[in-house]
A and B are shown apart, each in its own frame.
Chain A
Amino acid sequence: MTYQDIHELLPFRANGTLEGADLDAVDAALAEDAGLRADLAALSAIRDTMQAEEVASPGEFGLARLMRDVEADARVSTPAPAAANDNVVPLMRLRIWQVAAAVVLAVGLGFNLPQFGPGTAPMDSAESEPAGFTLASGGADADFTVIFAPDATEIEIRGLLLDAGLEIVSGPSALGIYGLGLLDADSTDTAFAALSASAIVEDVQ
């Protein structure tokens, strides 16, 4: 083993991870070379200093953030049942696209329709609804109407709708009211309970 080899291994003598022949060779060199021993003492001091340095890591805040995103990740990536036919779009993927399309459509309508304002032809057609309460998509067959919390994210809304078996069928209105339709007509109670229990839903009817 050369002098260079010994010097290359010296930091690992300082951190205590050398074993076997490497350790024997380095220790033999140390026994004969005072300069090498001083070098090792310096490396050990540097290591001790580095190990003693404290850093303020994210800790429990980081863990809370991780758990929140893991929950969201788990909701989005819940495996769908295997499709019986390759030509059939898996139900979960269909729901995601239904929800995504409904959100895009609703946002587009919500942005455009108020521009017509009271007295114009499109708003006049909603005669049975008081001004300001008309659903933007024209009052489609909604099983529930909800108002989401202002800080609810698209991912949170999507996760809730997927969990509750719902899709957006209308909205948002000028007051932020969404109409939701059941994907499975027999799950009314379950869906209502999920909406009622959700922290991102301010009101459900």
Chain B
Amino acid sequence: MSADHKFLIEQIAQGDKQALAALYRALERPVYKFIVSRLNDPHEANDILHEVFMDVWRSAGRFEGRSKVQTWIFGIAYRKSIDAMRKRGRMDLTDETPDMADDGPDQETCLAAGQEAEHVRHCLETLKDDHRSAITLAFYQDMTYGEIAEVSGVPEGTIKTRIFHAKKLLMRCLSGRVERGVA
């Protein structure tokens, strides 16, 4: 798959519009899912997705092949999402994590909560952007922590810490909703 994407990028760099269409069809859905998870606005996510693939079209010739094509494209989407949030004035630029005791209920409760898509969606939205982004790339896209670090432009250790805190906050939120019986 990765080799196919790389071949498509090489073709796009030569001006091949059909290769761009093939790459779009292959990656449009996961990239859109990632963007909309960050912006929570389907219309704006639509525009950002469009801009991402216009950037792919214009800069395919500068892709050096040091990372996977998917990682490169998600990096573009990551940066464009940040720009969009900055324009809205919604960007939380700190990397601080609120102090919290690990006093959640038992794991079975969490597991039950994890099976409820609505609970997961809600709790993801309560996370800070950099936490949500990291957990989204790990669980929606099954990226390695190295790939997530590359997409986000931060050290691997930062990603591990973000995901660790995101996981705790997510579990706490899910447990709380299940305990309160939120539908």
Contacts and interface: CB of A to CB of B under 8 A. Distances in A.
Interface of B: 15, 17, 20-21, 24-25, 28-29, 32-33, 36, 42, 46, 49-50, 53-54, 57-58, 106-108, 110-111, 114-117, 120-121, 124, 135-136, 138-140, 142-145, 160-161, 163-164, 167, 170-171, 174
Given A63-B21, A63-B24, A38 B108 contact: yes
Interface residues of A, number: 41
B86 to A, nearest CB: 23
Contacts of A31: none
A73 B110 CA distance: 50
- 4 closest pairs, A vs B, by CB? A38-B107, A45-B114, A8-B160, A57-B32
Contacts of B163: 8, 11-12
Contacts of A11: 135, 138-139, 163-164, 167
A15 B138 contact: yes
B25 A12 contact: no
Contacts, number: 120
A66 interface: yes
Contacts of B135: 11
Nearest to A50: B139
In this complex, the member of A4, A7, A11 whose beta carbon has the largest number of chain B beta carbons within 10 angstroms is A11
Contacts of B24: 62-63, 66
